[in-house]
Amino acid sequence: MTTKSGVFWVNWANENAKNSNQLIELEREFRENVEAFISALREGKASVRITSTRRNAKRAYLFHWAWRIATGSANASDATAMDGVDIEWDHGSASSSKNGALEMVNGFGLAMPPNSNVAPSLTSNHIMGKAIDMTILWTGEMTVNDKAGNSTKVQFSTNVNTNTQLHKVGASYGVYKLTSDAPHWSHNGR
Ligand SMILES: [Zn+2]
């Protein structure tokens, strides 16, 4: 049985399709790399706060199509299907389909144009468990070991995106910085 798009799906996702901020949810190889990097940072006396690890694929699907239909960048009939999500995007008319999608955009608190012009991703590394959002803080200069065990000095910078010394240490562990998104690190830098 299918249920039309609307606030029902916001409640459904908040119950059945939650995101995680736990390391255990990451893909195994990336998780081991991240754990090693974080241990090195903590040994270097940095504090590491993890805000996001794996993004639920069903939630990402609902975000993506709700956003696209609500903004008019797709018609309800364009939406793909997803196993385990029996949603009916098409309400029979373009305007009521758009309203159903808009209820979801509002319920999920998604940013719409002009605040955001990009649809929530269906292919983020977070969905595959190969990305992590974390805030790394320390005071002054930290001495941290790279994967080979070489100790490196890294100066704190309020802009993590330009801290190439820190990026190098992360890369030695296979954890790469996306330099346009402050908390975001992944298996390939995207
Ligand atoms: Zn991220």
Quick: pLDDT tens for 43-68.
999 999 999 999 999 999 999 999 99
- Give the Å distance between the CA of 132 and the centre of ligand 1: 6
Q: How many domains does the chain have?
A: 1
- Give the number of other Cβ atoms within 10 Å of residue 105's Cβ: 20
Structure confidence at residue 1 (pLDDT): 81
- Give the number of other Cβ atoms within 10 Å of residue 52's Cβ: 15
Both tokens of 95, joined, read 């305007």
Enumerate residues with CB within 5 Å of ligand 1 (an ion).
Answer: 133, 184
Q: Is 57 left (phi over 0), alpha (psi -120 to 50) or beta?
A: alpha
C-alpha 55/C-alpha 13 separation (Å) is: 12
Tens of pLDDT, residue by residue over 2-44, are 999 999 999 999 999 999 999 999 999 999 999 999 999 999 9
Which residue segment(s) compose the domain that 161 sits in?
A: 26-53+128-186
C-alpha 79/C-alpha 149 separation (Å) is: 49
Residue 155 placed within a domain: yes
- Give the Å distance between the CA of 79 and the centre of ligand 1: 24
- Give the number of other Cβ atoms within 10 Å of residue 49's Cβ: 11
C-alpha 59/C-alpha 21 separation (Å) is: 15
Residue 80 placed within a domain: no
Residue 146 placed within a domain: yes
Residue 102 placed within a domain: no
Residue 47 placed within a domain: yes
- Give the Å distance between the CA of 182 and the centre of ligand 1: 9
